[in-house]
Structures are given as C-alpha cells and as structure tokens.
Structure 1
Amino acid sequence: MICKGGANGRLSILIFHQVLPEPDPFRPEALDAETFHWQIALLAEHFNLLSLPEAMERLSQGTLPPKAVCVTFDDGYADNANVALPILLKHRVPATFFISTGYLDGGRMWHDTVIEAMRLMETDLLDLSDSLGQRFLTGSIHEKRRSTRRLIALLKNLDPSDRDALIQRIIEPVSSGLPTDLMMTSNQVRRLQKSGMVLGCHTVSHPIFTTVGIETVRQEIQQGRAELQSLLDESVTLFAYPNGRPFDDYQAEHVRLVRDLGFEAAFSTAGGVATRNADRWQLPRFSPWDRIPSRFMARLLLNAVNAASTRVPLS
C-alpha cells in the first residue's frame, strides 16, 4: 500500500526532535547521530523524499510519486543544525524545521529545564509534597530518570503560570549551571535556510492550545510567524501544532484560526498518512522511533496502512 503514487498517493510525514551527538541517559527517547544516520540512509535508499512544499503541491495535484516521504523537525533544537543537518545534506534529503521562536538565542523549553535541573541535582530527595503531593528520589541516575518522567507528567497538566512558578522553585539550587545552548541561535536558523531547508512556524513559546485562551493562541501564532519571517526575510506558510494531538492539544477552533491566518498547510501528530482528500490544516505525522533497522522499516510500512488522517470537525 505504501507504493501507491499519483491521485491515490499516500504521503508519510515523519517527525523528529533532537539528534544528539552521543546517547544521553537523561534523554533516552532522543536519537543519537549514529541512529539518525542509518535511518536517513535507509529513507534515501528506499523512498522518494520530498520537501514539504513540493509534497503539498503534488498531493493536491494528485502527482505524488510512490513511497513519498517528508522529514520534519519540531521545536528548534541546536543539534538540528549541528548534528542532523550535515547528515541530511550528505544524503541530499530535504527537511522542514518548525521553530518556536521564543527559545532562540539562549532559551530553554520548560521540560528541558526540568531534565537539566534533575541532571545537576546533588541531593538525594526533591520534596514537593506541599505543592504536588509527592517526593522524588534524586540520588542515582536511574532515580533521577524515573523522577524526571514523573515530574514532567505532573507539571504538564498544570496551568502554565503555576507550572513555571514551580519550575523556578525546583531549579533554584542549580540555576547557574543550566545550559543556554540547547536551542538554535538565529544564525543557525539562517544556516538551515541557506542550506535549502524549509522553516515553519511552531508558535513563540510552544503552549498547548487547549490550556490557554484563543486570543493567546492567536498572538502566539502571529508573533511566532512574524519573528521567523523577519529573521529569514521570506514568507512562512507552514505551521505545526505544539504537541499536536487532535482534541487533546488542539481543537476545531484552533484549526479554523490557523486556516484563517493564511497558512497553506498545518500538521498534527496524529498517526497515519496524508491523502489527496485529507484536511490540509491538520495533516498527520508520526515518529518512527524504532532503533533497529528492520523494525524501523516495518513501522513505516505499518503506518502507511492507516490512510485516514484524524480530523477535528470544523463546525
């Protein structure tokens, strides 16, 4: 089924986030350079890799090649430019990078702040029983990893202002040691552009749309696009929803807003493949997370079987 092209073509859109130089025990879900290299090599050998703008045009025209695949990255991590870009260029693979502009030039996403704070923690216990009703072991690496996962899951459900206030309390003992180079600089974003890569909007501060008001969402999208367009001196026409799960992270009103703001296409994290009649403002993407080549290829084939993208009713 993945071999179809033309009017019945199916487009697989892959999501990546970080590509680390070496594996990191505090970020076990992040790809390392060696793994990403063989994944891109397999994609380049067995699939037709398109830039996202070309794929969108050919999808609407019904002229997709068989085995069509696009590569995308979310958030704007510095390793995208330092580690992933050389691998992409080596294999002549185009990619689109969705950037949250508020973290450029020294910023940090909130969950990265938690991860790095836990890495630096020198005590054996983080006591948050007065705020979260829990205590977290922080003695060994394994304890820190388990506690980090639990803590992020709990913080994710808080109001952003309450979450950020609690994070400031957590990091106070280690704040001076936290990294300021996790996200791209403006020059690295321009380097991606000069290398032929496509840049898309991912808001300013990556809010989950269902946790904030619609006017905040509008401001985040408009400001993020304006900042990126100013940086690149070109139009930004593609958008990716933060977190990107339909209903949970964004809803119908947000889809309408993105469409009304004039984006040519927008992307979710619902699994499946894009077809010619898919909703152009919530196209599906998925992460091929397997670390064994045979399973990586099998997951691509399995995902392609799910031809229907998930839609939020636009009513």
Structure 2
Amino acid sequence: MYHRVARPTHDPWEIAVAPERFSDQMRMLRQTRTPLAMGEFVDRIAAGTLPTNAVAVTFDDGYRDNLTVAAPILASLGISATVFITTGSIGSTRAFWWDELAELILARTAAADCEVSIGADRVQVVLPPVDRDAGHTDTWRGSEPSASERQRLYLSIWRQLRLLDNDTRMAAMTSLRSALGGAPANPDDCAMSVDDLVRLTSDGTINIGAHTMTHPSLPALPDDVKRLEVSASLQTCEQIAGTKIAGFAYPYGDRDDATKSIVMDCGAHWACSTRAAAVNTARVDFFDLPRIQVKDWSGAQLARVLHKQWIDA
C-alpha cells in the first residue's frame, strides 16, 4: 500500500516514499517477486493459482504524483498498479486535508494565538515560535509521542477532523485557514484531475478503484450516507474508466460488517483494508484484503519486511 511518491517537508503518517527509493523497491519486486495487477491477484486467489511470492501494488487517495512520478517508474519495469480514488477531490486545487493541516500547524514557524471552530467546539490555538517550541522536528511521526506544542495540537485536531462528516470538516479547515493563513498547494500535492486519470489509465498498466467521495471513516456514518459515499465513488470511477470497477479501499482502513456489506451491495467484487499482513489464501475475506504500508525504505528493507510477513502468515 502506497499513497505518494514524493518528498514532502512534513509527513507525520509516513505516506510518502522518495522517488529513488520507490524505484529501488519496484526493481526489487520485479527481481524477487511476481507482481500482478490487483484484479488478477484476486482472480488467482479465487482460482487457487496464486503464486506463493505474488504481490500487488496499490495507491490510496489519487495524488497527482502517482501520475507524474510513480507511473513512469512502474511502466519502465512493467509493473501494474491500482490507484484507489477519493472522487470528491478530483481536480481540487487544495491539498488533502491532512496534508494542509500539517502545513498549517507543523510547518508554521511563527507563533499563533487564536480560536478556531472544529465542529461544535471552539479550540484555542496557542503556539510559540518554532525556536521556542521544545521538541519540535520536521521528522516527527504521528505514531510517536508528541514532544512539542505543534505536534500535540496537530494530533488533537487531526483526531477530531478524522471522524467528522465532510461538510463539518471542510468548515473546520476554512476556520483554520482563516486563522493561520496558508500558501497555495503545489499541484503534485493535490488530487489528479479527470484528464490526469484518463492519462494514468490510458495504456492499461494502471487501473483505478474507488475510495469513497470524501474520505470519511465509513463506520462513523449513518448507513444511507455510507452507501452514497461508496456508490457515488464507484460510479464516478466507472465513468472515468469506461468500464466496471471491481475494487474498493476503505479510507483509513476503517470497516465493520455493515460497511463491508454495503460495499458488496454497491457492486464491488473485492475491497482492501490496511490490516498489515500477507494474504492467507486458506481463509481469505475478499472484502478485507490486507495490505502492508510501504514506508520510505530501500528495496532491501522492503524485501526484509515482506519476508517477515510471509514467514509470519
């Protein structure tokens, strides 16, 4: 599971892999594994013909660098991939909210003292300048203890925003933007446009799957809203691709039985989670296919991670 092939200044969730490391990882997969398109991977599980060293490469969200940076590397090595698209962000000139939040808070060097609206809450934002914000580093990860005021504030607001409905979350981002300012986003930090997606899929090496409209935590939504998020995302992807879309990926990996049932009812044939494991073909759940999040590793480091997962499977 990938998201970005880029070098963002702040990457608290480790979703970016530098281009040269991604290239090294793909060369390793080509040399030591059997890379398959995700659709073929699933079909061969069902048929009982999946090679024991098979892998499938996927991307979540639909960042433009998937087209400009990742796609040429994949094409040069003949490796297929599936990109799961957050369809409500197609063509947006704003960064995804979690990236913009990192820019507004973690990348901010100046002090701040203001109040913002996060849903029904009023949140006081008090930040010292970076040189006085003890413990602050550009390399901090969200899985680590937060050692600075910026890190603590980012994580607190991120947790709130993650579970809000899209309209409330976007209103909160508007409040944060108004209070803290913010520069225009780099196009590669944004989602692909329709034209970008057509280019991405033009030679058949890369195909697309659905990833909801607005990237919500699906179990947190009422069933009717959940169904709309899934069905509209699938329909938009089908319109762009000109073909039936078989695959879906749960935002944040969040899923429950009701969500899985709705994804199935909406016409998907399989769905990916973020559960870090190798596929166990003896007891596979086609609506909870595990994926290993790849970090900014060398090819050799990724090979060791894959070996451990195969041994532990």
Distance 1:117 1:133 in 2: 15
The alignment status of 1:279 with 2:285, answered yes or no, reads yes
The alignment status of 1:202 with 2:189, answered yes or no, reads no
Match of 1:25 in 2: 9
The alignment status of 1:156 with 2:158, answered yes or no, reads yes
Task: Report sequence identity in percent.
Answer: 26
Match of 2:267 in 1: 262
Q: Which segments of 5 or more consecutive residues in structure 2 lack a partner in the other structure?
A: 139-147
Question: Displacement, 1:237?
Answer: 1.2
Question: Displacement, 1:147?
Answer: 5.5
DSSP-derived class of the 1:96 partner: strand
Question: Displacement, 1:175?
Answer: 5.2
Over 3 Å counting, the alpha-carbon distance change for 1:216 and 1:262 in structure 2 is: same
Name the aligned partner's letter for residue 222 of structure 1: S
Match of 2:200 in 1: 192
DSSP-derived class of the 1:243 partner: helix
Any runs of at least 4 consecutive aligned residues in structure 1 with deviations exceeding 6 A, and if so which? none
- Give the counterpart of 2:110 among 116, 123, 127: 123
Q: Which moved more, 1:233-242 or 1:121-130?
A: 121-130
Residues 120, 177 of structure 1: 8 Å contact kept: no
Distance 1:92 1:222 in 2: 31
Distance 2:271 2:154 in 1: 27
The alignment status of 1:169 with 2:175, answered yes or no, reads yes
- Give the counterpart of 1:48 among 4, 21, 34: 34
Q: Which segments of 5 or more consecutive residues in structure 1 lack a partner in the other structure?
A: 1-14, 308-315
Question: Displacement, 1:108?
Answer: 3.2
Residues 36, 55 of structure 2: 8 Å contact kept: yes
What pairs with 1:76-115 in structure 2 (closer than 5 Å)? 76-106=62-92, 107-115=94-102
Over 3 Å counting, the alpha-carbon distance change for 1:224 and 1:151 in structure 2 is: farther
Over 3 Å counting, the alpha-carbon distance change for 1:294 and 1:187 in structure 2 is: same
Match of 2:55 in 1: 69
Residues 118, 144 of structure 1: 8 Å contact kept: no
Distance 1:89 1:121 in 2: 38
Paired residues, what number?
287
Question: Displacement, 1:144?
Answer: 7.4
The alignment status of 1:229 with 2:238, answered yes or no, reads yes
Distance 2:267 2:95 in 1: 29
Residues 128, 134 of structure 1: 8 Å contact kept: yes
Residues 96, 198 of structure 1: 8 Å contact kept: yes
Residues 137, 143 of structure 1: 8 Å contact kept: no
Q: Which moved more, 1:182-191 or 1:84-93?
A: 182-191
DSSP-derived class of the 1:164 partner: helix
Name the aligned partner's letter for residue 203 of structure 1: T
Residues 111, 126 of structure 2: 8 Å contact kept: no
Question: Displacement, 1:191?
Answer: 1.2
Over 3 Å counting, the alpha-carbon distance change for 1:58 and 1:149 in structure 2 is: farther
Name the aligned partner's letter for residue 26 of structure 1: H
Residues 202, 221 of structure 1: 8 Å contact kept: yes
Deviation sequence 1:13-54 (CA, Å, 0-9, x none): xx000101xx33322621111111101111111100000111
TM (norm. structure 1) is 0.83
Distance 1:290 1:163 in 2: 29
Question: Displacement, 1:118?
Answer: 3.6
Question: Displacement, 1:138?
Answer: 4.9
Residues 200, 238 of structure 1: 8 Å contact kept: yes
Distance 2:181 2:4 in 1: 23
Q: Which moved more, 1:260-269 or 1:129-138?
A: 129-138
DSSP-derived class of the 1:131 partner: strand
TM (norm. structure 2) is 0.83
Q: Which moved more, 1:120-129 or 1:93-102?
A: 120-129
